[in-house]
Structure 1
Amino acid sequence: MGVESYPHLAVVAVKDNKEIDVVRLENLTSNEGRSLLLAVERTANQAKTKDTGEGKKTTNGGLLSKLPGLTAKKVETTTVASKPESTATVKITGAPKLRTTVDSLEQMGVKVSGVATSSEASPSKCDISWDTFAGYDQQKREIEDTILLALRHPQVYDKISRSTRTKFEPNRPKAMLFEGPPGTGKTSCARVIASQAGIPFLHVPIEAIMSKWFGESSKLLAKIFSLAREFPTGAIIFLDEVDSLGGSRNKGMTHETTRRILSILLRQIDGFEQDSRVVVVAATNRKEDLDPALISRFESSVYFGLPDEQTRRRIAARYAKHLTESELAEFARVTIGMADRDIKDVCLQAERHWASKVIRGRVRENVDEKLYSPPLQEYIESAMNR
C-alpha cells in the first residue's frame, strides 16, 4: 500500500469521548505517511469487538492506542469514489455528536453541505470545482493562493512561520471578503473552497440570523460560530449579504440590533485561532456600507465584476452548447451588462419558450435544425425581453 494511494486520508483522534485532533496525510512527510497508513491498515484488520467479563463490548486500540493519552473506541473506514479531490477518512466515533451539530445549524436556518454524519450516510452535496462557472481566472487564482492552499497544505505555512518569526504564530487566513454585483459567482466560489478543501460548507443567509426578538440575533450568530468549531475537519462559514450584519456605525442610522450583531461578528472573527481550519467568507454587493472595523478583519478582498464579452461567451457555451462559435459571439454581444446568473436565466427562458413551440407543433424538424435545439434567435429574443 503506497502513500500515493491515499492523497487525502485523515484520522480523527478521540480522547474522553471528545474529538481533539485531525491528522491529514498531506500534512506528513513521506515516511510518516507510510507509517500512518500501515498503522491504519493494521487497525482496520485488528479492531474487532470482543466480550469482556462483564458482558460489555470493547474494541482493540490499534493505531490510537499507540499514541499517548488517546484511546480508540471504534474505527470505521470510508472510501469515497476515486477522484482528485476525494477524501479517504478513518472515522473514530463522533457521528452522533456531529449529527446533533448539523441538526442544530439547520434548525437555525443554516444550509449545511459536505458533511457525512455516519459511516452509512453519504455527505450532503458540496462536490463542485472551478469548472462550475466560467471566467474569473484572476479571482480563482487569488482565492487559491489566499485560502485554499492554506487549508490543504497548512504544514507549509507553519514551516514558513517557524523559519521567519522569533516566536511561532500561525499565518493562515481567517476571513475573506467577496464583493461585487449579484449573480457574479460569489456563493459558488465559496462552495468551491469548501469542496476542494474537503470540509463542510455552512451557508448563513441573512434570515437565519435576524430575529424580531431583541438581543436574539446576536445570540444566534454567536451560536453559529460556536457550532462551526465543533467540526473536527474545520468548515467554511459563508455569510451572505454581510452588509446587513456589519453596516457602518459612522453613518448615524445604524440600529442598536445591528450594532450588537457587528460587535459579535468582530469578536468571533478575532477569536478564531489562525491554526484553525474554520474560515469566514463573507459576500456583499455594497462594500462601501460595511463598517471599517469589519473590513479590516478580512485579510483579502476579491472583487467579482460583471463578465466581459469573452467570459459571457464561455458562459453561453455552457448553457447553449449547440450554438456555433459565431452564434455564441453574437449571443455574448447582446448580453452586455448581464451577470452569470442573468445569462443562465436568459438561456432557461429561451429553452422554455422553445419547448412551448415544440409542444404546440409550431416547429418542424429539418436537415439544418434539430427539433430540440433552440436557434440563436430564441436566445436573442429572450435577452432583449429582460
Structure 2
Amino acid sequence: MKDILDAIQSTDSTPADFAALPIPESYRAVTVHKDEVEMFNGLETKEKDPRKSLHVEDVAVPELGPGEALVAVMASSVNYNSVWTSIFEPMATFGFLERYGKLSELTKRHDLPYHVIGSDLAGVVLRTGPGVNAWRPGDEVVAHCLSVELESSDGHNDTMLDPEQRIWGFETNFGGLAEIALVKSNQLMPKPQHLSWEEAAAPGLVNSTAYRQLVSRNGAGMKQGDNVLIWGASGGLGSYATQFALAGGANPICVVSSEQKADICRSMGAEAIIDRSAEDYKFWKDAQTQDPKEWKRFGKRIREFTGGEDIDIVFEHPGRETFGASVYVTRKGGTITTCASTSGYMHE
C-alpha cells in the first residue's frame, strides 16, 4: 500500500504510473464475521457494542469484474447502516451477501464468511474492468452508495426501482471502510477539487438520501413555502435536509436534542429550532404506550413557527420513537418521507 500512497501523494504521477502499480494480494479492512452473528443474542439494542463485533484485519483483494473498478480509499465515513451491520440488526447482513452470491458466477465473490463494510469513499482509481470507458487509473473519485445491475427496464427511469438494487457495503461486500474497495464504475463521480479527501467522503450516502427523500420527484417534491419538519436536523441526514429546505425556499422546523446541535442549525441559517431535550418531549409513556398529549404539545409548538399551519412534509429517520408524533403533526394531504429508523424499525 505504501507504493500506492506515494503515487497518490506525488504531483508527478501519471495514469500510466497508476496502471503500472502492482495490486497487493491483501488489504486492511473493517469487517464483521459470519460466525459471530449471535454474539449479542439476548441483549437490548443499546447494550450491543460494535467494538466487540468489528474487526480490522487483512483480507484478500477481490477479483475485478466487468464494469467494476478497484479504488484506493483515501477517506470513508460511518453511516447508520454500518451501525446496523455491526450489531446484526434488524438482521445479519450475511443473508444479503448469500442472496447476492446466487445471482451470477461473478457475484459469488460477495458471499464470504466476512463482510467488509462501509458505503462511502473518496479515493483514487487503481484498476478498471472490461467495459469501463469513463474512468482510468489515477482518477480521483467519490463513490455513490447505490449498486444496481440495470438488466431490468424497471430500473431505467429510477435506479432505486431496479429489482437488483442494493446498498454497496451494506448489502454487498468490499465496502469503503478499507484501504481498497470494489465498486461498480457507475457509482463513481469526480472528486470535487475544492474538498479535502475527508470532506469529499462525507456527503455521498446522506446527501443523496436527503435529496431523494425531500426534493426529488420520487420523494416529497418539496416546493417553495412548504413547512418541513426535520428530525435530527444537525446530523448527517438532517443537516442536508435543512440546507435543501433553506436553499429551496421552504421553511425548515429543525428538531434537535441539545443546545450545541441547535447552534449547528443556526450556523446553517435555520431559525425555527425545537430542542426536544430542553422542552422535555416524551412521546412514549412506557415501552408499549405512546402519549398523544405530547404529540399535541409538540404540534402546538410547531405552529408557533408556522403561523398556525400544520406541517407539509416530515423528514423522518428516527423511526419508532418519533413516527407517531410525525403522523399527528402532518396536515391533511401532507407527506411523510422516512428511512433508516435509527431508534427502532417497528413503527407505530
Same fold at TM > 0.5:
no
Q: Tell me the TM-score normalised to structure 2 length.
A: 0.25
Q: Which protein shows a greater Rg?
A: 1
Q: Tell me the TM-score normalised to structure 1 length.
A: 0.23
> Counting helix residues as a fraction of each chain, which structure ranks higher?
1
